[in-house]
Amino acid sequence: MKLGVRAHDFGKLPAAELAAQIARHDLESVQLAPPKAIANFDPDTGRLTQDFAASTREAFLRHGVQIAVLGCYINLGDRDEATRRPQLDRFKEYLRFARDFGCSVVGTETGSLNSDFSRHPENGGEEAFQIVLSSVRELVNEAEKFGVIVCIEAVERYVISSPQRLRRLLDAMDSPNLQVIYDPVNLLSSTNYDREAQIVEEAHTLLGERIRVVHAKDYSVSGKQFQEMSAGEGQLDYQKILRWIKRCKPEVDVLLENTDPKTIGRSLAFLREAYRVA
């Protein structure tokens, strides 16, 4: 199991300083969202350059850390074409420069019919699915030109919300350049967490062959309040997930979320021991 972290959980710093802090925890990889993680980065479309990408790659590699995923989280399901279009253009830019970052994966969730990403009652409907499919098709066509991968992450409140819905998207595209970021906690909510074992099993069965990256965090439920937290601090059945990783995906990048430099040690110790005994 290769352990890594979201780079911006360590703050927004110059690339070399950020890489050095992450490497101190014996982490092998990162998910990098430059606007969130790299100090003085201009996020506007057209501002990525080959030099910036290459220098960022080298800063991390000098500390033995690989950029496993470029995070470019956009709203693929936005009903408003005028606001969706520049987001798609930005994602395409990340695809074009991914190899210069030493990375072959650009990842996103699918978002909502609402431009502000908030939950919409029709996110689970056919119109929303077709908007996302059209957006993903455009991005995958671009990814195929550059030999890189679009990774989609299902989130319970968004358009692609379940293993079944993501499997439908994969089948509709039928391209090896479309793969999956698997975050089991993002598939759960206060209304379905009692079916955690079933949902996790469905994810492994329906998506396993296409899972490229795993996100690691945890959750708890108190009353109707669903709270996300660091891995090992909640109620997620990590033994089930880690047994599957050990058996089926031992080389996958497992990237911690919902942590920080002060608490990451506990999460890493938990995951390493849980994986040992899984």
Identify the CATH number of the domain in which residue 113 sits: 3.20.20.150
When divided into structural domains, the chain yields a total of: 1
3 state DSSP class of 75: coil
Beta bridge partners of 255: 4, 215
CB-based burial, 102-135: b 16+ in 10 Å, e otherwise: bbbbbbbbbbbbbbebeebeebeeeebbebbbeb
Q: What is the mean pLDDT of the chain?
A: 96
Beta bridge partners of 263: none
What is the model's pLDDT at position 41?
87
**Domain carrying residue 148:** 2-277
- Quick check: 101 and 70 in contact, CB under 8 A? yes
What is the model's pLDDT at position 46?
66
The C-alpha atoms of residue 6 and residue 260 are separated, in whole angstroms, by: 10
What is the model's pLDDT at position 45?
65
Which 3-state string (H, E, C) describes 88-129?
A: HHHHHHHHHHHHHHCCCEEEEECCCCCCCCCCCCCCCCHHHH
| Backbone φ/ψ region at 152: left (φ over 0), alpha (ψ -120 to 50), beta | beta
pTM as predicted: 0.96
The DSSP H or E segment spanning 216 is: strand 211-216
Question: What DSSP designation does 208 have?
Answer: G
Question: What DSSP designation does 259 have?
Answer: -
- Quick check: 26 and 272 in contact, CB under 8 A? no
The C-alpha atoms of residue 98 and residue 209 are separated, in whole angstroms, by: 23
DSSP code string of 142-205:
HHHHHT-EEEEE--TTSSS-SHHHHHHHHHHH--TTEEEEE-GGGG--TTTGGGHHHHHHHHHH
- Quick check: 105 and 148 in contact, CB under 8 A? yes
- Quick check: 88 and 138 in contact, CB under 8 A? yes
Question: What DSSP designation does 8 have?
Answer: G
Integer CA distances (angstroms), 275 to 237, 242, 278, in order: 12, 6, 5
* pLDDT < 50 stretches in the chain: none
Using CB atoms within 10 Å of the CB of residue 210, give its burial: 0 to 12 exposed, 13 to 18 middle, 19+ buried. middle
What is the model's pLDDT at position 79?
97
What is the model's pLDDT at position 47?
76
Beta bridge partners of 109: 153
3 state DSSP class of 69: strand
